[in-house]
Amino acid sequence: MYESVRRRIEAESKDFPDDCAAPTGHLTDIRNLDRKFGGRVVRAHQRGLRSSQLFSWAFSPAWEEGGTRSRTGDVDETHKNFSSPNGVYLRHTASGAAIFRWPDPQLAFIDTTLYEVNILPVLTANCTQRKSTTVAAQWIRIAYHDMSTHDVNDGSGGLDASIVFELDRPQNVGTGMRDSLNDFTSSTSPHVGMADIIAMGAVLGVASCGGPVIPYRGGRIDAQVAGPATVPEPQQDLQSHIDAFKRQGFTQAEMIALVACGHSLGGVRRDDFPQIVDATAPNGFANFDGIPLKFDNAVVTEYLDDTTANPLVKTANVTTRSDLRIFSSDGNATMQSIASPDNFSKTCATLLERMINTVPKDVTLTEPVEPIESKVGGVALIPQNGSYVLRASLRRLSTNPNRVVTMFWEERNGQGSFCPPAGCPVNSTSPSVSGVSSFAALKGVNKFATYIFNAQIPLNTSVSKFWFTVDEKDGSGPQVVDNGGSGFVIDQDTVLFDPSRTSATRTSFSLVIAVRTADATGSNPPIVSIETYQPGGPDFIPTIQTVGVQQDTTHAATDAYTFFTANIFAGITAIHVNSIIGGKIFSQYVGSSDFRVIL
Ligand code: HEM
């Protein structure tokens, strides 16, 4: 199936408009799909994106509606790319923060990874120490090295995870690179690749050591090949450093400040640079400043008052005193300007944000992703015991014991025949209260409250959409949560991932897909396959595979559905169910966060 769709993309790509029209509507063919993603499907393909990755994008919209790669600004905001000289390509919205329109697996995943109790914030919590340095220092260094391939002259390179192909270069010496990628790889998903996670690492690392909270945007695209070998090295002369930073998009003053910001944490390892760190250094490690567990201005003040032990300033090997040459290159003017804690923090916030947003010119980043106020997830429509069960959850950013959350749904068939005009109401279970990440706490979020719904829906009416009201019982009245007006649309009920019949062992999943029997038989048998996403192994490159799905009579045909099963490895973290039924393409994405919730 993928081959044929790929051929169609190639055949038809020449007359795709290159504008950013993003029509809504059903996904019926690949042409619409490409338009829906503003031409990105074809452009990504033309750039040589692996077709497997392309199809992860292409088939990513859960329930077809919404469009996963549609950025949060698509719905109601201005739609313009701004580029700054250093290759920061951002789409701006009037509101300034990303707007979550379910299903948007990209934003949902970023929110989960940054703000829920998750592996990345935990790994760097309270500026965790590791191998004489900190996790945060390792994560900031890898982000800079990955970004260093950017060239403002042609917009190529930048933070694109090309580092995974560059690890053997002397510029990237040190265990910190592989340590970091090992930390990151399980947190990737079809919509948030390694480049996005590297950028997240820098944001989380800085904040975890008491540094500024840098806004996080997603949307980077992982490179498929190595970039140029352009990471600066300590033995190079000042002019080559000025030239390198200029090519990356930073002026000389910005170079001075950015190096100071980066070298606020961590230090130099003797194993990696024996010519810089001598044998007397404790544990073979020389810190850049006297407060290595804090992202602060000590690297600047110690340099200015000459109490510094920064190895790149003081090493006996004059050739490798790169920080000294850089810091003093404008007569210390820049270092003096960032000597106060406040100026240091503000300058570093700006420059580090620019660093992580320095991306190849054809990448458009989302708006900053703040904790999502009303996050819908775990949605599944399951044929069961003579009706459907519609499962869904609504996560709110605070708890309130008085709050009443009600779900409403509307029929797909025979509208008005079953539900009143205001929709069929469904009560939630008592909310489950969960903790937040340390990063969410810095944004003022202390607890999540999640409301779970199980709506019984007749098979003959089915469901077209659902929405919620949230009443805080504080006199302000119920607030409608309806996905920006569209409701949470269940686009189709022909092919449904069935979590209730799916089973898991320690090593595998037996995934069950329900196909409506009327469409599953006859002369046009359904074609169902599952594309699976498994995060990268030792090479840090994810595996995307297509798995065949067989009709499975161990689940007796019932409730107008026939069941298909695929056996997949338990290490899979996301799936796309792709099918052609009666000549129509159907797609359902079940992302990592929902995989956990639904199963
Ligand atoms: C001319 C530019 C630069 C040079 C020559 C340079 C050089 C170095 C060297 C030699 C190390 C020691 C690495 C090791 O021992 O394995 C280091 C560490 C580090 N660098 Fe830079 N660097 C530069 C710019 C930057 C920038 C711009 C950043 C980030 C904004 C940065 C962040 C770091 C961090 C966080 C570490 C500590 C890593 C750890 O402790 O594991 N560096 N740098």
For 450-492, the pLDDT digits (tens) are 999 999 999 999 999 999 999 999 999 999 999 999 999 999 9
Whether 268 is in the pocket of ligand 1, judged by its Cβ within 6 Å, is yes
Name the CATH superfamily, with its identifier, for domain 374-489.
Carbohydrate binding type-21 domain (2.60.40.2440)
pLDDT of residue 413: 93
Nearest atom in ligand 1 to 264's CA:
35
- Taking only the tens place, the pLDDT of each residue in 12-69 is 333 333 332 322 222 233 333 443 344 444 443 333 333 333 333 333 333 222 222 2
C-alpha distances in Å from residue 458, one per residue of 412, 473, 490, 506: 10, 32, 15, 35
Q: What is the pTM of this model?
A: 0.87
Burial zone of 583 (CB within 10 Å; 0-12 exposed, 13-18 middle, 19+ buried): exposed
Question: What single-letter amino acid sits at 363?
Answer: V
Residue 84's pLDDT is 38
Contact 463, 563 (CB under 8 A): no
User: Is 486 in a helix, a strand, or coil?
Assistant: coil
> How many CB atoms neighbour CB 303 within 10 A?
24
- Asked if residues 404 and 477 have their Cβ atoms less than 8 Å apart, the reply is no
pLDDT at 70: 25
116-168 pLDDT, tens per residue? 999 999 999 999 999 999 999 999 999 999 999 999 999 999 999 999 999 99
pLDDT of residue 230: 98
> Structurally, what CATH architecture does the domain formed by 1-64+491-599 represent?
Sandwich (2.60)
Stretches in the chain below the pLDDT threshold 50: 1-94, 597
H-only helix segments in 357-395: none
How many whole angstroms from its chain centre is CA 451? 24
Ligand 1 lined by 320 (C-beta under 6 Å)? no
pLDDT, residue 593, reads 58
Residue among 131, 141, 241 whose CB has most ligand 1 atoms within 8 A, to mutate: 141
Q: Where in the chain is the domain with CATH 1.10.520.10?
A: 109-356
- Half-sphere exposure of 350 toward its Cβ, with a 13 Å CA cutoff? 11
Q: Write the CATH number of the domain with boundaries 109-356.
A: 1.10.520.10
| Cα–Cα distance, 117 to 494 (Å, whole number) | 35
How high is the pLDDT of residue 523? 64
Q: Where in the chain is the domain with CATH 2.60.40.2440?
A: 1-64+491-599, 374-489
User: Which of helix, strand or coil describes residue 423?
Assistant: coil
What is the whole-number distance in angstroms between the Cα of residue 142 and the centre of ligand 1?
9
CB 121 within 8 A of CB 203: no
| Rounded CA separation 202/142 (Å) | 8
- The per-residue pLDDT for 435 is 97
Q: Is the CB of 93 under 6 A from ligand 1?
A: no
325 lines ligand 1 (CB under 6 A): no
Q: Is the CB of 238 under 6 A from ligand 1?
A: no
Q: What is the pLDDT of residue 521?
A: 67
